[in-house]
Amino acid sequence: MQLRSIGNTAVGAIGLGAMPLSIEHRPDERRALATVHAALDAGVTLIDTADSYHWHAGEEGHNELLIARALARYGGDTSRVLVATKGGRGRPGDGSWTVTGTPDHLKRAAEASARRLGVEAIGLYQLHKPDPDVPWADSVGALRELLDAGTIRAAGLSNVTTAQIREAHAILGAGLVSVQNQYSPAVRDSEPELRLSTELGLAFLPWSPLGGISRSSLDGPSGATSAGTAFHDLAAAHGVSPQQIALAWLLARSPAVIPVPGASRPASITASAEATRVTLTAAELALLEAELPG
């Protein structure tokens, strides 16, 4: 698989979004572990998780513990795997999400995540979402303290604006290495954040990158999917899936982009990883662009 950079770390150009392995409609553990192992076999070396990726109340850290078990049981080399986790959100168990960005909470959450992952320092720790009740500089300041304490090796931001990226960059400097916002063929609101990330040398990690092509893991089994788009037409021409065309389009947007498609089956992440072999011409990219919103 081709490589891209998150800070000073080279990772596969496609990551694994591990959330579907722990939330609603999650697979049994055997299939979940097989999905992580299939990702590693395919050359995926970025695994995206969070302490809030769980289903029921009292399961905080379910996904982090699952990833730790999967890595421990993998028969191959995992020394180059970057596990990126997040803190600042919660799930009470009723399907809702909460936001807590106080410095004390973030520092405790990072320490708990490190214990669950079984590491001395988290490779990449991302602030999951800005808390409107906490000054942004205070939340980002907690990441600065975690960096200085050696609890985390690098920091990232998720669900942020350009102004928040700039303020965090001023506080964290080279310690800030990534931005993770929703971005897909159907949702392009973060185009300014993608441009700024590229300008600042930050990795841009689209979450729900297949929006408009596939259902999100939170949509449930009844979620709608598209058909008959330019993505489908080009997929037929290339002999691949529309999802692989979507990932190839994302990779062509910027060298900063590292999509993290979710997967709950080994075949899904294996197919996603193969998207790095798809090369789209300028004419094909123009065709896709002409159909996209915004």
Backbone angles phi, psi at 40, to 5 degrees: -65, -40
The answer to whether 158 touches 187, Cβ cutoff 8 Å, is: no
From 138, 224, 130, 112, select the one nearest 180 (Cα to Cα): 130
Q: Where are the alpha helices (DSSP H) in the chain?
A: 29-41, 62-73, 103-117, 136-149, 162-172, 191-200, 230-238, 242-253, 266-273, 282-291
* DSSP at 103: H
Closest CA to 21 of 58, 49, 51: 49
Is 125 an active-site residue?
Answer: no
For tokens 């290495």, what's the residue? 177
Task: Tell me which amino acid residue 122 is.
Answer: I
Q: Given the residues 53, 74, 125, 183, select the one marked as catalytic.
A: 53
DSSP assignment of 211-246 = BTTB--TTT-TT-----SSHHHHHHHHHTS-HHHHH
Of 70, 72, 52, the C-alpha closest to 61 is: 52
Q: How far is CA 133 from the centre of its chain?
A: 25
Active site residues per annotation: 53
